[in-house]
Amino acid sequence: MNVTDVINPANGAVFTTVPSLGLEETDAAIERARTAFGEWRRVAPGDRARLLRRFAAVVEDHFEELALLEVRNAGHTIGNARWEAGNVRDVLNYYAGAPERLSGRQIPVPGGLDVTFHEPLGVVGIIVPWNFPMPIAGWGFVPALAAGNTVVLKPAELTPLTAIRLAELALEAGLPENVFQVLPGKGSVVGQRFVTHPAVRKVCFTGSTAVGKSIMAGCADQVKRVTLELGGKSANIVFADADLSAAAAAAPGAVFDNAGQDCCARSRLLVEASVFDRFLALFQENVAKFRTSDPSSEESDMGPLISAGQRATVAGYVGGADVAFQGTAPSGDGFWFPPTVLLARSADDPHWREEIFGPVVSVLPFRDEAEAIRLANDTEYGLSGSIWTRDVGRALRVSRSVETGALSVNSNSSVRYWTPFGGMKQSGLGRELGPDALLSFTDVKNVFISMGE
């Protein structure tokens, strides 16, 4: 069997290898999942709920282990990695309440009784990216399992370790064998087989818009369901009446968290012209305080980029651009890049329009509310964003006008496991998390029972 090297991005060194499955192994795993589905769907809702709660407890018992594994494999800061392990635990606990509440409806009809059922789909294929390997895996496999499906999950080649460990912990928690399988390997082999194999009835993909389009096109051949969470180029809009100090203090984390490798990163910073210079001065002070260092350190705000290739891509956008100021980053081994603030000459600059996926933010002034909305919407993406203002009416007007799936006012948060998450336009299709995500892993069946003469 082929293997893939796993590299620590903080020092560029290989520290382990994992198997890279081929087509035959992938087909065999899908077949095992199809066989397991028949039994798993018949597990009583209360028993399925208890297994998910037990899984959450086992994740909690291995909380620090999972976090440290993510620090080493993905270069995430220890603070972020602990949040991510906790998010998997919390998502498991949240959807553990779902099996016993997955109720249909009774619809009034003449001549009988009409009821609906939410039936599980079967085998669900989940393709996870390298930027947030743990939580994004959980957002897919947990509601799928809660709804009665079996899951095959392909982690990113660069960051497979926490997903592999979660599959081991699922067995330790008592989930039946083959209900949740992790299949490391190439996207062109394992991921593509999820798309083409007829037993896989839904594909959940998080990643680039270009790859998402190809997956959607492939799934169309079998009328296969898809959930897509794709790219982003989110706007952070700061109005003159905002608490500028608070907005400037929050702005570095909004774009540099996880070294900017976040589809929700507020990488377009729009500032009202009348306070542009004042805000930029405050922003510079806060960027200077943002600590890029060894991700295992409790003091680190930002770790390295995931790979040398990603670092080269990010550097390509900065070279030749108008750099307003930069933070600091370690030198030497590892895929480090400093937090960087660029001044956009116009809304046509590549660094303003394209998703860089690195610690780079582009700044542009706007004149009024109408121009802020126009600039925010002038993108093919629509995933997240922020609005900073003290005017409640403006907050509501702009929130309704900006074309994006998740917005925060006077905050930069995008994700809560109990609220819906997903994008508009080319940022994706469908919603993850929240009370309704479970339903996307089911089909509605309608049953009419005649009362006779």
Active site residues: 229, 263
Chain centre to alpha carbon of residue 208? 11
Read off the amino acid at residue 269: L
Note whether 220 and 202 are within 8 A (CB): no
Q: Which residues does residue 302 pair with via DSSP β-bridges, in sequence order?
A: 292
The CA distance from 28 to 30, in Å, is: 5
From residue 97, alpha-carbon distances to 88, 91, 140, 421, 426 in Å are 15, 10, 16, 19, 32
> How buried is 31 (Cβ within 10 angstroms: 0-12 exposed, 13-18 middle, 19+ buried)?
middle
44, amino acid identity: A
Run of H or E residues at 253: helix 244-256
- 3-class secondary structure, 173: coil
Q: Name the helix (H) or strand (E) containing 209.
A: helix 209-220
Distance of CA 71 to the CA centre of its chain: 17
* Beta bridge pairs of residue 432: 421
User: Angle, nearest 10°, between helix axes 133-146 and 161-172?
Assistant: 40
